[in-house]
Structure 1
Amino acid sequence: MQPSITYHGTFQEMRLFKTDDRPLAARMLADRYLATNLKAQHALDVARDAVRSNYAAAEDRALFAEQLIGIVSHDLRNPLAAIKMASQLLGCRDLPAKQAQILGHITQAAERAQRLVADLLDFTLRQVGRSIAVSLKPVDLHNLVGECLGELSLVFPGHTLTHICVGQGKFFADSDRFYQLIGNLVANAMAYGTAEGGVTVSSRFEDQVTIAVHNLGTPIPSELLDNLFEPMIRGSHDNAGLRSVGLGLFIVREIVRAHHGDVKVTSSIEGGTTFTATFPLLR
């Protein structure tokens, strides 16, 4: 009898557990969010530093502009006024023709320098955020324009200045600013127009108040018309002796706006060039 052999198998029990991966995903999302926030904060810090730097630079420019205003208003205007006064006094004497001609050149140069200084002063004020100041008072518009043209005829000898008056009405303006406005427009017309054609200035009371300055000559290039009243914009012309730094028309626009008006320009070979400033008519 053979012994019985019993085989006992070995059983291993293995249990599988499903873990929840949501906390891990949340941590990864939080890390990405934190990284994004840190990047945004860094960009914000850089932007703030740039703003501070630009603000400091703007303050430096404003300080420089104020210093320039002081120089222009005192150190340049006063000597020019003295030169102009001296030339006027000498002009009262009976001088030989050659001396009278030289004196005329001195007077013309002083007048032009005064206009350039005034334009520079106003441009500097606009650059630091200050508007052009005006003091509005009742004026006789036709008489004001006529007197201004009388002075300009001395500044531009050999050129014909014609004044056309239409209508009557009430008008409030800053006389000094209007002298500056008309002076800049006439100087521009002299620079771009022909001496033979002359310059015509009209002052009109119709459905609105209008001041127009017209000249014949080479038209303003069409590509410049839209930006002609911006600073440093100049047309091309051959009269180098009358060239300016390109602020005159910008100042004209600012003066017109200060009087609640608008200014436009038209220019063609056939019709010439006309700058027209319009202002509301008082009722």
Structure 2
Amino acid sequence: MPADVFDSAACALAVTAQDGTLLKVNARFSEWLGFSTAELCGKRFQDLLTMGGRIFHQTHLAPMLRMHGSITEVKLDMLHRDGHKLTVLLNGNQREQADAVVYDLALFGTTDRDKYERELLNARHLAEALLQEKTATELALKQAQAELNEAYAIAQRRALFAEQMVAIVSHDLKNPLTAIRMASDFLSRGQRSAKEQQLLGHIGQSSERAQRMIADLLDFTQARVGQGISIKVAPLDLHAVIHRAVDELRVAFPEAILEHRAEGHGDACLDGDRVQQIIGNLVANSVAYGDLRRPITVTSRLGVGAAEISVHNHGQAIPEALLAGLFEPMTRGTAQGSDVRSVGLGLYIVRELAKVHGGDVAVTSCASEGTTFTVTFQSP
């Protein structure tokens, strides 16, 4: 190796005799150990090592060089002139020179490597700690999930029991309500004073409202607990069914102005009673929330392979935040209309009845145009 390359090398370089005597060292070697080049030449390499390093040199390093002719990345601790320890990685190679055996040594500092290894070790410890934390979190999550599942099962059983009780009570209330209505109808046929007629009218309207509420409750429990709401489809004149339903609703809601519009011609195949129930629920909703000074319009439309009914009112716009959940049970748009609204199942029942007919329900609402509920049916 040229002298200038040897002296300016980035690592510490040395050439030793077979017994370890330093024959030649470069500037980096001298700088690392704090000795001049002249002071180092003639010293034995092993004498510059710590006690542990000397033992290792005698028992392992020197024999390996003699047997294999080279060593690679052997970690050694050397002593600086002032006594502090310097850790290096040693690479050595044996070669012959002028009928003698010499060893070329290259030493590399380990400060950056040790720092990297410490950081790597710290990262490993951190990863192990995170893994342990993750495992503990997963166990806690699994336990919480098991507790949540158990709580959910209990809640489901309680909800099922409550819905079954609602179904039983609602069914049992039908008979006394029917008796009340029949009695009020019978009493209204006789000669009554204006006050008595008014009271009988209140009784009839209240029983009618209670019967609608019970019908909704029974349908709700049938949809949630039973096999779903049942229908019996048959060919019918949709316009005639809607016209008859509107006439009956005018009696039930005398304070409202109800109008019916018929569009298109032809028959549909639907459950007539359920269609009237849909109209009744939507009109009741419009009476509860609409502006009764303006008409509530019920429209029936017939097209090819489809039928549609809609109910429009001029009430206040439904808030945007409520539109998404409007057809969920026990949901109401506002607090108004408490005198005529039911238990908050009307729109839910409308959606379920539309679904069993193969259709759906939608709503549009704004301040300028009012609110329109539209039910579509797939009719063969």
Please tell me whether Structure 1 or Structure 2 has the larger radius of gyration of its CA atoms.
2
Which one-letter code corresponds to 2:337 in the other structure?
N
Q: Which residue of 2 aligns with 1:100?
A: 197
Q: Which residue of 2 aligns with 1:165?
A: 262
Give SS of 1:245's match.
coil
Q: Deviations over 1:184-217 (max 9, x none)?
A: 1000010111222121111111243111111112
Q: Which residue of 1 aligns with 2:366?
A: 268
Equivalents in 2 of 1:213, 1:70: separation in Å?
32
Query: Structure 2: where are the runs of 5+ without partners?
Result: 1-58, 61-131
User: What is the deviation of 1:61?
Assistant: 3.2
8 Å contact kept, 1:177–1:255: yes
Taking a change above 3 Å as real, the CA distance of residues 246 and 68 of structure 1, as seen in their structure-2 partners, is: closer
User: What is the deviation of 1:273?
Assistant: 1.2
Q: Which residue of 2 aligns with 1:186?
A: 283
Equivalents in 2 of 1:81, 1:147: separation in Å?
22
1:258 aligns to 2:350 (yes or no): no
Q: TM-score, normalised by structure 1?
A: 0.77
Q: Which residue of 2 aligns with 1:128?
A: 225
User: What is the deviation of 1:129?
Assistant: 6.1
Equivalents in 2 of 1:119, 1:112: separation in Å?
11
8 Å contact kept, 1:107–1:155: no
User: What is the deviation of 1:249?
Assistant: 0.7
Q: With CA pairs under 8 Å and 6+ residues apart, which has the higher RCO, 1 or 2?
A: 1
Equivalents in 1 of 2:191, 2:370: separation in Å?
40
Taking a change above 3 Å as real, the CA distance of residues 233 and 61 of structure 1, as seen in their structure-2 partners, is: closer
Which one-letter code corresponds to 1:255 in the other structure?
L
Query: Structure 1: where are the runs of 5+ without partners?
Result: 1-14, 17-34
Q: Which residue of 1 aligns with 2:317?
A: 219
Q: CA RMSD in A?
A: 3.2
Q: Which residue of 2 aligns with 1:25?
A: none
User: What is the deviation of 1:145?
Assistant: 1.4
Which one-letter code corresponds to 2:309 in the other structure?
I
Q: Which residue of 2 aligns with 1:68?
A: 166
User: What is the deviation of 1:182?
Assistant: 0.9
Equivalents in 2 of 1:47, 1:234: separation in Å?
33
* Higher alpha-carbon deviation: 244-253 or 125-134: 125-134
User: What is the deviation of 1:236?
Assistant: 1.9
Taking a change above 3 Å as real, the CA distance of residues 49 and 104 of structure 1, as seen in their structure-2 partners, is: same
8 Å contact kept, 1:191–1:237: no
8 Å contact kept, 2:269–2:379: no
Equivalents in 2 of 1:217, 1:42: separation in Å?
52
Q: Which residue of 2 aligns with 1:153?
A: 250
Taking a change above 3 Å as real, the CA distance of residues 53 and 271 of structure 1, as seen in their structure-2 partners, is: closer
Q: Which residue of 2 aligns with 1:21?
A: none
Which one-letter code corresponds to 1:109 in the other structure?
S
Q: Count residues in correspondence.
A: 258
Q: Which residue of 2 aligns with 1:83?
A: 180
Aligned-pair identity (%): 43
Aligned with 1:113 (options 202, 210, 223): 210
Which one-letter code corresponds to 2:348 in the other structure?
F
8 Å contact kept, 1:199–1:214: yes
Equivalents in 2 of 1:167, 1:176: separation in Å?
21
1:205 aligns to 2:302 (yes or no): yes
Q: Deviations over 1:39-84 (max 9, x none)?
A: 889976875575456435433432342233112111x111111222
Equivalents in 2 of 1:199, 1:230: separation in Å?
23
Give SS of 2:339's match.
helix
Q: TM-score, normalised by structure 2?
A: 0.59
Which one-letter code corresponds to 2:307 in the other structure?
V
- Bigger strand share: 2
User: What is the deviation of 1:132?
Assistant: 1.4
